[in-house]
Chains A and B, each alone.
Chain A
Amino acid sequence: MNDVRLLDSALVPEAALARFGQDHPAAGGIASFVGKVRPDDGVEALELSHYPPLTLPGMVALATQALARWPLDGLLIHHRVGIMQPGEPIVLVAAAARHRRDAFEAAEFAMDHLKSDAWFWKRELRAGTWHWIEPRAHDHADLKRWK
């Protein structure tokens, strides 16, 4: 029912969404979000690292939580790790549900948690030097909406 993956090579949202749609033919709608490496501030590359014993199990638990909270047909979370170029997809979330509001809300819930409460560490390559990215207060504020 849920499709949760960590990918260390290219994420192709169109292909994943087509499969997800086929897997949930009875859904009245599918809300999806694609996050990309933002091409700004002279960022040459982005690297996401993870810790296998925690990262994927945490994402699976997040999907289970969303499914308990909204009546969904299914939830998809695909997340990249490794080195990515600006403009490359980094995350795909899709929620299939009978009604649109449940799908929109579940997708946003999953994104807000992935942005601030998932086991990822991020660094950017700028002018040939890697810089670790610190947590953003804004992402934590987004998370509070769901408490």
Chain B
Amino acid sequence: MSIKLVFLGKLADLAGVSEREVDAPLDWGSLTEELDGALGDAVACGKIKVAVNGTVIPENSALAASDGDEVALLPPVSGG
């Protein structure tokens, strides 16, 4: 029973990995609890967007991921 968390941009550096597995189910509260230190701070900063299975969700607080889902944490884009 797990969810794939994907870290993009500088979040991947802070996490030390580009992805990791976490237990399902996952909401915004359990996600921010799961991530500690500088990574947790960066994710909680209010500028991060969240995509579930390739779709950006309108509000991070609406995150409700279940087994098999892919949750991506997207910092502000720096442009092409």
Interface residues of A (CB under 8 A from B): 35, 48-49, 51, 53-54, 57, 79, 90-91, 114-123, 132-136, 139
- Number of residues from B at the complex interface, CB < 8 A: 19
Q: From A80, which residue of chain B is reached at the shortest CB distance?
A: B80
User: Are A139 and B9 in contact, CB atoms less than 8 angstroms apart?
Assistant: no
User: Are A79 and B80 in contact, CB atoms less than 8 angstroms apart?
Assistant: yes
Q: Give Cα distance in the complex from A120 to B78, angstroms.
A: 6
The 20 listed contacts between A and B (C-beta, < 8 Å) are: A35-B80, A49-B8, A51-B6, A51-B8, A53-B70, A54-B72, A91-B80, A114-B79, A114-B80, A118-B77, A118-B80, A119-B74, A121-B77, A121-B78, A122-B78, A122-B80, A132-B13, A133-B79, A135-B78, A135-B79
Chain B min CB distance to A119 (Å): 6
Q: Give Cα distance in the complex from A76 to B70, angstroms.
A: 30
Most chain A beta-carbon contacts within 10 A, residue among B9, B13, B70: B9
Given contacts A51-B72, A53-B51, A53-B72, contact A132 B78 (CB under 8 A): yes
Most chain A beta-carbon contacts within 10 A, residue among B51, B56, B75, B79: B79
Interface residues of B (CB under 8 A from A): 6, 8-10, 12-13, 51, 53-54, 56, 70, 72, 74-80
Q: From B51, which residue of chain A is reached at the shortest CB distance?
A: A54
User: Are B76 and A135 in contact, CB atoms less than 8 angstroms apart?
Assistant: yes
The residues of B that contact A115 with a CB separation of less than 8 Å are 79-80
Q: From B79, which residue of chain A is reached at the shortest CB distance?
A: A115
User: Are A121 and B54 in contact, CB atoms less than 8 angstroms apart?
Assistant: no
The residues of A that contact B76 with a CB separation of less than 8 Å are 134-135
Q: From B13, which residue of chain A is reached at the shortest CB distance?
A: A132
Q: From B54, which residue of chain A is reached at the shortest CB distance?
A: A53
